Structures are given as structure tokens and as C-alpha cells.
Chains A and B, each alone.
Chain A
Amino acid sequence: GNSVTQMEGPVTLSEEAFLTINCTYTATGYPSLFWYVQYPGEGLQLLLKATKADDKGSNKGFEATYRKETTSFHLEKGSVQVSDSAVYFCALSRSATGTASKLTFGTGTRLQVTL
């Protein structure tokens, strides 16, 4: 079946440090890949996505590249801010267009950014 593996947290960084959160996946065929973010006390919200190999998703300074050869979708940001403190979830979907988006989520990685 489908599965997503994320690096365990928490990850603690100083402001302006470089961030990498690793994500690898197992799936048949060609899934779409996503990063969701959950800020304290809120629900998850989509951060970025990539739907085919070599695509790069980006948003709010975060980037992730769909690497089919390594089955990875690592999240990166060049300079984190305190406001980036949250839990980050990697997810995949093999749902076809026009069907329900049944996502498979990783376990989440908590990021804490300090001044």
C-alpha cells in the first residue's frame, strides 16, 4: 500500500537558519505529493504540491522537488522565521481527477524556530 515516511522531530532552529525536512514515499504508479502545515490550534492547510516527477512546488519561501528516482519530496526553506513554527505533514494522493482526494499522511514533523 501507500505510505509516507518523514523525519522525526522536533526540529529546533534559530531564526534565519536553513531548513530541510525529509520525506520519502512508497506508492505504485505516479502519486501527487503535498506538504501541509498545521499552526498551533488550527487545522491543516496546504503549503505546496507537485503532481509529476521533477516538478517543484513552492510557497511562502518553502520549496520541495518531486524526485521519482529517490521517491522523495524534501521540504526546504532558506531562512526560517519564528512564525514558521508549526507541524509539517508530507502527504501523497493517488486519486484521479474527479474523485475524492484520499490522502496518505506522514506522521508530521514539529518545527520550533527560536530568536
Chain B
Amino acid sequence: NAGVTQTPKFRVLKTGQSMTLLCAQDMNHEYMYWYRQDPGMGLRLIHYSVGEGTTAKGEVPDGYNVSRLKKQNFLLGLESAAPSQTSVYFCASSYSSGGSGELFFGEGSRLTVL
């Protein structure tokens, strides 16, 4: 079973370049999330979505945009990458009942901005 799949898994960018991370889930989950993981800071929520066509800001949304055109996909974009965005990015999804706290995570995408 695929679960939550993220592409690409690794990427190196130069400052100012743009890129998109793709997250796909095959569990028919309503809710999807993007987190970033940095050393000594745990995971922080960037953006999330409660359904197709909806998005909302999380704790650290600046410098990122997201889109949820299809229920199964959640895209995270960086329009002008900065070294501060060097991180490991995790996508997650959860059931429509939500609130339960059980998120299903992808394997992560490691992004380096030079």
C-alpha cells in the first residue's frame, strides 16, 4: 500500500529558484498537511487543507504557497527559495473525523537551498 507519497525525495536549489513538492495520498483522506522538520525545533506546520479546493495557514506559512486542486494531492510551492528554507519537509494526511491526532506521514523530502 502506497499511503502518502512525496516527490521528489531530495532536491538542491540555488537562492531565488522556485520549486514544487508534490504529495499524494491514496487513503481518501479529507485533511492534508505540510510540516517542516528542523534540528532542535521538531516539526512545525506550514499549511494545511480540510478538503479539495481549500487551504489554510499553519504556524510558519511565509515563503510558501499551497494548492489542493484534487482531493488526493497537496502541492507545496516555493516561489523564491531562501537558505532559511533548507529543511526536511513532511506531508501528512488524516481522516475526515479529524481531531484524533492520527496523522499518516510520507517519508519526507530533503531540500537544500544554497
Q: Which of A43, A93, A106, A108 contacts B101 (CB 8 A)?
A: A93
* Interface size band for A: 20 to 34
Count of B interface residues, CB-CB < 8 Å: 29
Give chain B residues whose Cβ lies under 8 Å from the Cβ of A98.
96-99
> Which of chain A's residues have a CB closer than 8 A to the CB of B98?
95, 97-101
Q: Is the CB of B42 within 8 A of A105?
A: yes
Interface-centre pick from B41, B90, B100, B104 (highest chain A CB count, 10 A): B100
CA distance A106 to B107 in the complex (A): 19
A115 lies within 8 A of chain B by Cβ = no
Contact, CB under 8 Å: A46 / B107: no
A-B contact count (CB 8 A): 79
Contacting residues of chain A (24-82) with chain B, CB-CB under 8 angstroms: 32, 34, 41-46, 49
B97 pairs with A103, CB closer than 8 A: no
- CB proximity to A under 8 Å, residues B91-114: 92, 94, 96-108
B44: A residues at CB distance < 8 A? 105
Q: Which chain A residue has the least Cβ–Cβ distance from B49?
A: A100
Among B31, B106, B107, B108, which residue has its beta carbon within 8 angstroms of that of A100? Answer: B31
Q: Is B61 an interface residue when CB atoms closer than 8 A count as contact?
A: no
B43 at interface, CB cutoff 8 A = yes
Determine if B33 is an interface residue (Cβ-Cβ < 8 Å). yes
- How far, in whole Å, are A33 and B101 apart by their CA atoms in the complex? 8
Which chain A residues border B50 with CB–CB below 8 Å?
Answer: 99-100
B42: shortest Cβ distance to chain A, in Å? 4
Residues of B within 8 A of A (CB): 4, 31, 33, 40-45, 48, 50, 56, 58, 90, 92, 94, 96-108
A-B contact pairs, 10 of them (CB 8 A): A41-B107, A43-B4, A43-B108, A49-B100, A89-B42, A95-B101, A96-B99, A97-B99, A99-B50, A99-B99
Chain A residues with CB under 8 Å of chain B are 4, 32, 34, 41-46, 49, 89, 91, 93, 95-103, 105-108
The 5 tightest CB contacts between A and B, nearest first, are A43-B105, A105-B42, A97-B99, A105-B43, A93-B101
